[in-house]
């Protein structure tokens, strides 16, 4: 058994940094946690990938992972690897593992490392400050591993990549008053797969960005390319204006609104209380202990005062910032008031908000979209037939590839097409598994039956008829509408094409029964 709390990193200036194998692996999985539950992942979370990053022999990775799994800190999965035609064993943190490493993060971040600066002077600094001093995009684990194996990190080391040129006066701050608080954001969205098509969608986000509407909400079913589209759009924004201030925050299921609020202040450069970086006392609104009330209104008023700075007290020159909150559906219902508060701040300041979600959000209403110009919305669907054609024409597939069949089977879903690119199969098992585990199997039985009834229909079905056939009382379930699984058309209700294709694979008596139910329901609702 591993005694996690007993493991200590060497942090004294007269000793080399010594990060345990378990700490290395947990930290690495933490840094790769954005891939949790993905069906298509990168090399970094395979055995050879972990071995390479953590400076381990592959057999040692296997042994260590067995210990980590026995502690309940990680789970094992066999998944498709981007750029590889073989499925491989991969790992990701469990909730207990996330808790375990989060408790250790303060110690890891504060580990002292030696750095030789641009002026050749030797400095002893915290590990989480090293990347900024080196002007290099290095993760905390990379910093610690270099320090452990070489003792001193040298400015301009070719292995650290190109030196980041930045004349920004404002740097993300550090909040010392909060024990264990730290930022979990990035200054741009993650690099993603190649984008195919999406020009109209990208132009739509650009149109919003040029407008005065403070919030843009991008929604769509799992894996349809929401984050990829935003990253694609951000590339153009930064190309045209490299000084654009960006905060990208991936909301995780374990996140709290307090964590998001803390990271926002960090990105604003608000530092310890009593200093010039916090002249409006914003940090005083942050609860010091878990369980304490978080006064959202006071936070809003002071953040707004800080950003407007009518008294001229701020020392930075930050004028506008784009805050991107990804996967906001992971935040429970308590987050709705928090998001509404952020929208109020954005209305009164130069903040722009872009939220990415699998479902519709409830902290604003239709009037905010259609009459008040507070919110712009866009639901991301699958790629068009034309976009699919261009994509497939770039692949070494048969010239007679059944594009219409592929579109019908996948609904233009990018993940399905990416798997087709990898394996050359129209419906790879991973795609079907994704639809089942990520979408269908998490639905209540009555909601799934509604979708299954729609799947056997050859046309949209009015809700009264569909509800009758499904023996369902009440209005259309918001859960499946908000997630884009069921569509409200003028002719009636319809189903996402990818789900329709998946459900129709359930051939046999069951579908015959559903057809009969629909027929009888239509007869009952025929005008006399």
Residue 473 in domain: yes
Residue 134 in domain: yes
Distance CA 376, CA 203 (A): 13
- 26 shares a domain with 100: yes
Q: For the chain, give me the number of helices (H) and strands (E)?
A: 21, 13
The residue from 139, 160, 181 where one domain ends is 160
pTM for the model = 0.55
Residue 339 in domain: yes
Q: How far is CA 55 from CA 45, 130, 504, in A?
A: 14, 20, 48
Residue 187 in domain: no
- 398 shares a domain with 373: no
Residue 461 in domain: yes
The CATH number assigned to the domain holding 466 equals 1.10.10
- 207 shares a domain with 142: no
Residue 299 in domain: yes
In the chain, how many domains are there?
A: 4
Residue 191 in domain: no
- 146 shares a domain with 295: no
Question: What range does the domain containing 407 cover?
Answer: 385-438
- 89 shares a domain with 63: yes
- 109 shares a domain with 81: yes
Please, what is the angle between helix 127-134 and helix 95-110, to 10°?
A: 70
Buried b (16+ CB within 10 A) or exposed e, 353-386: bbbbbbbbbebbeeebbeeeebbbbbebbbbeee
Buried b (16+ CB within 10 A) or exposed e, 99-114: ebbbebbeebbebbbb
- 479 shares a domain with 427: no
Query: Mapping DSSP to helix (H, G, I), strand (E, B) and coil, where does residue 447 land?
Result: helix
- 277 shares a domain with 153: no
500-508: list long-range contacts, CB under 8 Å, 24+ apart. Answer: 500/411, 500/454, 500/455, 501/408, 501/409, 501/410, 501/411, 501/427, 502/432, 502/435, 502/436, 502/440, 503/440, 503/451, 503/452, 503/455, 503/456, 504/455, 504/456, 505/432, 506/452
Distance CA 377, CA 517 (A): 36
List per-residue pLDDT tens for the chain, 528 residues long: 444 333 333 334 444 688 899 999 999 999 898 888 887 888 889 998 898 888 888 888 888 999 999 999 999 998 888 877 788 899 999 989 999 998 888 889 888 888 877 776 778 888 888 888 887 778 899 888 888 776 778 776 655 654 544 433 434 433 333 333 344 567 777 666 667 778 888 899 999 999 999 999 998 877 677 888 898 898 888 888 888 889 988 887 667 788 889 888 888 888 665 556 788 888 888 886 555 688 999 999 999 999 998 888 877 767 689 999 998 888 877 788 999 999 999 999 999 999 999 777 889 988 999 989 999 998 887 788 888 778 777 776 656 667 777 777 677 777 667 666 655 655 656 666 767 776 777 788 899 899 999 988 988 899 999 999 999 999 998 878 876 678 787 788 888 766 777 787 665 668 888 999 999 999 998 876
């Amino acid at each position: 058994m591993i005694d996690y709390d007993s493991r200590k990193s060497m942090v004294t200036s007269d000793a080399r940094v010594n990060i345990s194998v378990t700490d290395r692996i947990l930290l690495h999985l933490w840094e790769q946690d954005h891939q949790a539950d993905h069906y298509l992942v990168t090399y970094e979370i395979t055995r050879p990938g972990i071995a390479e990053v953590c400076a381990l022999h592959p057999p040692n990775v296997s042994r260590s992972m067995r210990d980590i799994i026995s502690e309940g800190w990680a789970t094992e999965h066999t998944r498709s690897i981007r750029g590889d035609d073989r499925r491989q064993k991969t790992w990701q943190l469990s909730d207990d593992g996330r808790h375990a490493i989060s408790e250790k993060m303060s110690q890891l971040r504060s580990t002292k490392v030696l750095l030789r600066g641009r002026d050749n002077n030797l400095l002893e600094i915290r590990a989480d400050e090293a990347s900024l001093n080196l002007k290099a995009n290095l993760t905390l684990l990379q910093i610690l591993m270099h320090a452990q194996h070489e003792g001193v990190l040298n400015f301009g080391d070719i292995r650290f990549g190109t030196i980041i040129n930045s004349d920004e006066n404002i740097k993300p701050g550090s909040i010392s008053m909060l024990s264990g608080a730290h930022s979990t954001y990035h200054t741009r969205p993650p690099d993603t797969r190649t984008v195919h098509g999406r020009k109209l969608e990208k132009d739509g986000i650009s149109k919003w960005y040029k407008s005065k509407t403070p919030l843009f909400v991008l929604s769509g079913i799992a894996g349809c390319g929401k984050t990829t589209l935003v990253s694609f759009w951000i590339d153009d924004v930064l190309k045209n204006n490299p000084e654009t201030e960006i905060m990208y925050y991936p909301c995780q299921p374990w996140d709290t609104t307090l964590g998001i609020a803390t990271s926002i202040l960090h990105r604003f450069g608000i530092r310890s209380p009593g200093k010039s970086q916090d002249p409006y006392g914003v940090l005083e609104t942050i609860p010091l202990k878990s369980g304490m009330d978080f006064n959202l209104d006071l936070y809003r008023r002071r953040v707004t005062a800080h950003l407007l700075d009518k008294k001229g007290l701020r020392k930075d020159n930050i004028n506008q910032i784009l805050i991107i909150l990804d996967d906001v559906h992971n935040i429970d219902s308590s987050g709705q008031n928090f998001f509404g508060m952020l929208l109020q701040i954005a209305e009164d300041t130069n903040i722009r908000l872009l939220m990415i979600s699998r479902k519709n959000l409830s902290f604003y209403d239709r009037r905010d979209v259609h009459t008040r110009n507070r919110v712009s919305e866009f639901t991301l669907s699958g790629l068009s037939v034309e976009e699919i054609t261009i994509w497939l024409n770039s692949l070494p597939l048969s010239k007679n590839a059944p594009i219409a069949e592929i579109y019908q089977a996948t609904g233009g879903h990018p993940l399905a097409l990416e798997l087709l690119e990898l394996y050359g199969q129209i419906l790879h098992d991973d795609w079907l598994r994704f639809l089942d585990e990520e979408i269908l199997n998490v639905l209540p039985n009555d909601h799934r039956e509604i979708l299954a009834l729609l799947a056997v229909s050859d046309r949209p079905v009015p809700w009264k008829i569909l509800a009758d056939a499904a023996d369902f009382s009440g209005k259309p379930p918001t859960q499946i509408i908000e997630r884009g699984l069921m569509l409200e058309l003028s002719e009636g209700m319809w189903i996402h094409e990818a789900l329709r294709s998946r459900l129709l694979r359930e051939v046999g008596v069951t579908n015959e029964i559903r057809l009969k139910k629909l027929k009888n329901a239509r007869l009952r609702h025929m005008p006399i």
